[in-house]
Amino acid sequence: MEKGLEVNRGIADRIRELREICDISREEMAKRLNLQPDVYQDYEEVRRHFPVSILYEISAMLHVDMTELLTGTAPRLANCSVVRKGEGISVDRYK
């Protein structure tokens, strides 16, 4: 299977699973996205690629981060620093 097709299949599978968990039919999802049902079905069955705008709407509708739709994992910070008041590097912001 082509790498791009594998990625799109994974995204479509995650969306379908989340949609089913939320008890939303394909027809209802298409209606909420202002799409024809056959167009939405083509997206879910990977006959078309999901546009980013549609992915954004779906992530908002299903209350998941876009990263979760795209990768299947929750977003997280790789690095972070805690700086206590008065203990950080001095920076002259306005000169």
Query: CA geometry: angle at 39 spanning 34 and 45, to 5°?
Result: 130
Give the predicted TM-score (pTM) of the model: 0.72
pLDDT tens digits for range 2-19: 666 777 899 999 999 999
Average pLDDT, the chain: 86
pLDDT tens digits for range 24-55: 999 999 999 999 999 999 999 999 989 999 99
**DSSP labels, 8-64:** HHHHHHHHHHHHHHTT--HHHHHHHTT--HHHHHHHHTTSSPPPHHHHHHHHHHTT-
CA gap 93, 44 in Å, rounded = 50
C-alpha of 4 from chain center? 16
pLDDT tens digits for range 48-90: 989 999 999 999 999 999 999 998 887 776 666 777 777 777 7
Rounded to the nearest 10°, the torsion over CA 55, 21, 25, 34 is: -20
Inform me whether the pLDDT recorded for 23 exceeds 90.
yes
